[in-house]
Amino acid sequence: MAEPRYRRIVLKLSGEALAGERGFGIDQDTVNRIARQIKGIQDLGVETSIVVGGGNIWRGVAGSAKGMDRATADYMGMLATVINSLSLQDALEKLEVVTRVLSAIELRQIAEPYIRRRAIRHLEKGRVVIFAGGTGSPYFSTDTTAALRAAEIEAEVILMAKKVDGVYDSDPIKNPEAKLYRDLRYIDVLNQQLGVMDSTATSLCMDNQIPIIVFNLNEDDNIIKVIQGEEVGTYVGR
């Protein structure tokens, strides 16, 4: 197999990605398929960290919209990311991929606390690191978590796994004529509100010059193709 272009990455998975076609909860077959792709890039020697959302279980914004206290709703969403992280850890370890879950919220019985130097050391030892619990603070998305952790561990790229082939100028599901972008600048994403990440996360990537690659997770081996430098999805950079 070709040598990887990137040596240390953050893979951002939405919670919905773990739900498969069901759209809610955790679909084990889907989780196992994702785990096999992650094992593939680990076998290439890539230092892999992962941020998982929790939208398949709970969305803080949705709870807040129905009258719940926003901070409480967001903390519930952070706990949902922990559930997803443990599910993915279990699937990876069944493939004999050593995995550590590091949580921004202290949960000593099931996860290690997030400590930057500890996370880097795990990566250097060839372990997959899953960042759970968001940033540990309400009002921040898991997109922002991915950007923040990427900056902290000095990741070379953020891989944004989606259900579509990349970034389009409009919703490709609603508009069959939607145009797929191959390359974008951070400022274009912000100005055109293209929805790659929320604006806080995009700005953080722009300030720290962390490229983002948006690709379709449902295509077999797409993660490996991106790592090897093939033109897959949309590249967002300077």
Average pLDDT over all residues of the chain:
93
Per the domain annotation, does 31 fall within a domain? yes
Structural domain that includes position 162: 8-237
pLDDT tens digit string along 79-102? Answer: 999 999 999 999 999 999 999 999
| Residue-level pLDDT at 1 | 59
- CATH number where 94 lies: 3.40.1160.10
- 103: enclosing H helix or E strand: strand 99-103
Residues 65-84 have pLDDT tens digits of 888 899 999 999 999 999 99
Q: Which amino acid is at 217?
A: L
The residue ranges of the chain whose pLDDT is under 70 are 1
pLDDT at 62: 80
Q: Identify the pLDDT of residue 90.
A: 98
Residue 149 lies inside a defined structural domain of this protein: yes
How many domains would you assign to the chain?
A: 1
Euclidean distance between CA atoms 115 and 178, whole angstroms: 42
Q: Give the global pTM.
A: 0.94
Side-chain-facing half-sphere of 52: CA atoms under 13 Å: 30
Q: Give residue 172's pLDDT.
A: 84
Query: Is residue 2 in a domain?
Result: no
